[in-house]
Amino acid sequence: MNEVLSALGRSSSDPDAVLDTVVESAMNLCRAAAAQVYLIDGDHFVLSSSVGLSPEFVAHLAAHPLKRDRDSLVGRVTLDRRIGQVADVLDDPDYGRQDLQRIGGFRTLISAPMLLDDEVVGTLSLYRTEVEPFDERAIALLGAFAAQAAIVVRNVHLVLELEERGIELARRVEQLEALSEVGEAVSSSLVLDEVLSNIIMNAVRFTGCDGGSIMEYIAAERSFSVRSAYASSDELLSRLRGIRVDLETTLVGRAALEGHPIAVADLAAVELDPHLRILFDDGWRSVLAAPVLRGTRIIGALVVRRRTPGEFSDESIEFLETFASQSALAVWNARLYRELETKTAELQVVSQHKSEFLASMSHELRTPLNAVIGFSEVLLERMFGELNDRQDEYLRDILSSGRHLLQLLNDILDLSKVEAGQMELSISRFSARSAMEYSISMVRERAALHGLAITLDMETEIDGIESDELRFKQVLLNLLSNAVKFTPDGGHIAVTARREGDEMAVTVEDDGNGIAQEDRERIFESFQQGHRGAQSEEGTGLGLTLCRRIVALLGGRMWLESDLGVGSTFGFTVPMTVRARDEDSRATDEAHLPVIVVIDDDRASLDLMTAYLDGLGVRVVHARDGEEGIESVRATIPAAVLLDIRLPRLSGWEVLSRLREDEAVAAVPVIIVSILDERARGLALGASEYLIKPVSRDDLVDALRRAGAVGVAGPAPSADGIESARGETV
């Protein structure tokens, strides 16, 4: 806008120069590939000014001018007298100037009629070579530039009016940018009190008021409760929190019910409700209240106030309404997050009580169960006399049921230990082959009774591993027992062990009935067998659940592959070695790593940048605002700085300037990572690289390498790593 105004001031008698400035500015601000001004000449158009067009396009257009018809978008907007857009000219059956499309290669078109005194004098048009429709901001800017172009064509002496339009548009753009910054600030946290504090602080700041408060609506009580205040004394906040702000009888409630802001220019001239009375007694004289709504649902209310009476401008009212609407989602998300935290804490307590109950129950039942098993064995040994056949049969049933119940209690106790985080691993180095042969020997007799063959195929290079031998055998034995149980007589069970990187992968494959797709995840749940065999099949229903938890505890993952009628393969991995180091040695190692300081107030961006830097042999230091970022850089003298532009307290531009002025850190490479596309400004201020979000890992690593902060790029996360994480989550 300033460039256009400057051109008008320099070229009041040369409208062509001004139009050139208009089209160039329109193209740049709307991110277009080309821009043109067409003037009406009878029933066709003349190209008056353009930027981005090839000589071939201009020559063809001169030979075959656009007409005032609906074959072209330029013609349509002059007939419709409003801005028009074609998202993709190749999909528009009514678009008739495909000759121009083939030369210019454009896909998305937008045109605005140049209206002056309700008369169309021409059009201002833009195009993009990719299918990328122009957003509302670009449409608004195009309309403004079209109006300026019309003024230039009709009367270049109307510079003053053009300046006023420029100032207004600049103010609107500034306000939109301010809203965007505020939106990012209030959305950067899920802590409700922090979100509310950010909202009311920025509402007061941008409306030019002296103070304010934000209220949360309590639906059950049909009233509002003051949650946070800005520029208010502790006494006032205490008094506001001590009253009931009723929905039906207060100014705030009326604004919420009517769904729009309500202003009071002079509190001394109106009847005061309890809320307004407290404000008046504290010295406040004018109030503006806006509801915070999510659809038709009342979330809360924003109240800004001044010490002096006076009307609130339409701009302030409009801004507060927009800001309240924008803040509703952030407040709603924060409330949901608070409820989720509460539910999570409650579930943790319930889970703890459940684990304690299961452990207690298991121990209490062991004593009588041991007696049942022991006395059954004594009687079956005929120590007190002979038994008839029926007595022998019943005692064997009692012994079998007792042992089954004891196994169930053992599994429940182990599962409760895992869930409570109380299962302790006994790490030692043992022979993997011996452990697997032992597990196979435990089921070989049962397998032989059903004519099942069990084979072991193990890579010779696998020898000793570091893990918990008892738990390793427990997992493998459970999988083997299941394979024996669910494999038809005469079948085959194959056990294999392979080395995969730093892990050993073990699989148990059978040729049983297989498992249906819908049951493959369910069988890992407690007390589920997934309809694999007859309902009479014995089993606790906890074996696979416990196996998956133990494997995750050992640092591995577990999976299942199965086809109905063909068989099933259960597999798991365990690390070959355990990397155990004390915290002091780890801290010593990390102290020698190069440091990357990431300055960004968005938690998700910090996590993403940290994930990208994982595996590069660097130590990552986080900073959530500009001041903290500068302190971190001075304290660590990092290998590089990743800097966002939109930051609290200090903007990224100010941070970059201060770092370049500080001799101690002036040589540290600064890589800007921002949603703002201001590469030229960043490089001019001394940035080494300029990346525009969203940024890929490869782009970030390449930028760090070019800046000399890292050597070669680290490997991307592997599929194995992803699967492992998934196993641990389950």
pLDDT band per the 50, 70, 90 thresholds, residue 165? confident
- Reply yes or no on whether the pLDDT at 723 is more than 50: no
Domain 189-423: CATH superfamily, name plus number: GAF domain (3.30.450.40)
Domain ranges (residues) in the chain: 1-160, 189-423, 427-531+538-575, 595-707
In this structure, is the dihedral angle defined by the CA atoms of residues 677, 681, 687 and 689, taken in order, positive or negative?
A: positive
Read off the pLDDT of each residue in 714-724 and give the average, rounded to a whole number: 35
286 vs 622, residue with greater confidence: 286
**What's the helix, strand, coil split of the chain in %, to 5?**
50, 20, 30
Cα 721 from Cα 611, distance rounded (Å): 13
Q: Are strands 211-218 and 223-230 parallel, antiparallel or unpaired?
A: antiparallel
Q: What would the pLDDT profile of 440-475 be if each residue is shown by its tens digit? A: 988 898 899 999 999 999 988 787 888 888 889 889
Q: What is the reported pLDDT for 173?
A: 76
Cα 381 from Cα 370, distance rounded (Å): 17
Range with lowest mean pLDDT among 5-14, 101-110, 288-297, 333-342: 5-14
CATH number of 1-160: 3.30.450.40
Task: Please enumerate in sequence order all residues whose Cβ is within 8 A of that of 453, keeping only pairs 6 or more positions apart, or say none.
Answer: 447, 491, 492, 493
pLDDT band per the 50, 70, 90 thresholds, residue 720? very low
246 vs 160, residue with greater confidence: 246
Give me 618's structure tokens. 């660097």
Give me 523's structure tokens. 């069988």
Q: What is the mean pLDDT of the chain?
A: 82
Read off the pLDDT of each residue in 623-636 and give the average, rounded to a whole number: 89
pLDDT band per the 50, 70, 90 thresholds, residue 9? low
Q: What would the pLDDT profile of 498-516 be if each residue is shown by its tens digit? A: 998 889 999 999 988 888 8
- Reply yes or no on whether the pLDDT at 58 is more than 80: yes
Q: What is the reported pLDDT for 363?
A: 64
Task: Please enumerate in sequence order all residues whose Cβ is within 8 A of that of 708, keeping only pairs 6 or more positions apart, or say none.
Answer: 639, 669
- Reply yes or no on whether the pLDDT at 532 is more than 60: no
- Reply yes or no on whether the pLDDT at 625 is more than 60: yes
Q: What is the reported pLDDT for 541?
A: 56
Partners of 276 in beta bridges:
none
- Reply yes or no on whether the pLDDT at 640 is more than 90: yes
Is the distance from CB of 630 to CB of 650 less than 8 angstroms?
A: yes
Residues comprising the chain, all counted? 730
23 vs 383, residue with greater confidence: 23
pLDDT band per the 50, 70, 90 thresholds, residue 389? confident
Q: What is the reported pLDDT for 14?
A: 63
Q: What would the pLDDT profile of 474-497 be if each residue is shown by its tens digit? A: 899 889 988 998 899 999 999 999
Task: Please enumerate in sequence order all residues whose Cβ is within 8 A of that of 9, keeping only pairs 6 or more positions apart, or say none.
Answer: 159
Give me 568's structure tokens. 């099933």
- Reply yes or no on whether the pLDDT at 681 is more than 60: yes
pLDDT band per the 50, 70, 90 thresholds, residue 187? low
Q: What is the reported pLDDT for 725?
A: 31
Alpha helix stretches (DSSP H) within 450-542: 469-486
Report which residue type is found at 718: S
- Reply yes or no on whether the pLDDT at 180 is more than 80: no
Domain 427-531+538-575: CATH superfamily, name plus number: Histidine kinase-like ATPase, C-terminal domain (3.30.565.10)
Cα 617 from Cα 99, distance rounded (Å): 56
- Reply yes or no on whether the pLDDT at 708 is more than 90: no
The listed range with the strongest mean pLDDT (142-156, 358-372, 512-526, 671-685) is 671-685
CATH number of 595-707: 3.40.50.2300
